[in-house]
Every structure is written in C-alpha cells, then in structure tokens.
Amino acid sequence: MLSHSSGIAEPPLLDATISDNLARTAERFEDREALIGCATGRRWTYAEPHEAGGAG
C-alpha cells in the first residue's frame, strides 16, 4: 500500500525525496548561495549544508 497518491498533476510531481532533490541541487549549484542568515549575515552555498548533513 502506498503512503501517498499523486493522482493527475500538471506538471507531474517529483518522484524523489526532499533529501534526494537537495543532493541533486547541491551537485548542480554547489558554489551558489543557498541560505542567508539575516540576523548574522552568514551565507552558505548549496554544498555547505549538504556536506554538514553527511550526505554525498
């Protein structure tokens, strides 16, 4: 039994987890800014949180 049903959607839903999608995005755009901490001004590239999470 599936835990979800995607039904008919345009455009179709991704058949991937959030983690899978983030990993693909980190591979494609690793040097681009992904997160900015407004209060601190700290900036992270896509690769930084991906690496910190132990993925890859």
Tens of pLDDT, residue by residue over 4-20, are 666 777 777 777 888 88
pTM: 0.57
Q: 41 in the Ramachandran plot: left (φ > 0), alpha (ψ -120 to 50) or beta?
A: left
Which tens digits make up the pLDDT trace of 19-52?
888 889 989 999 999 889 999 999 999 888 766 6
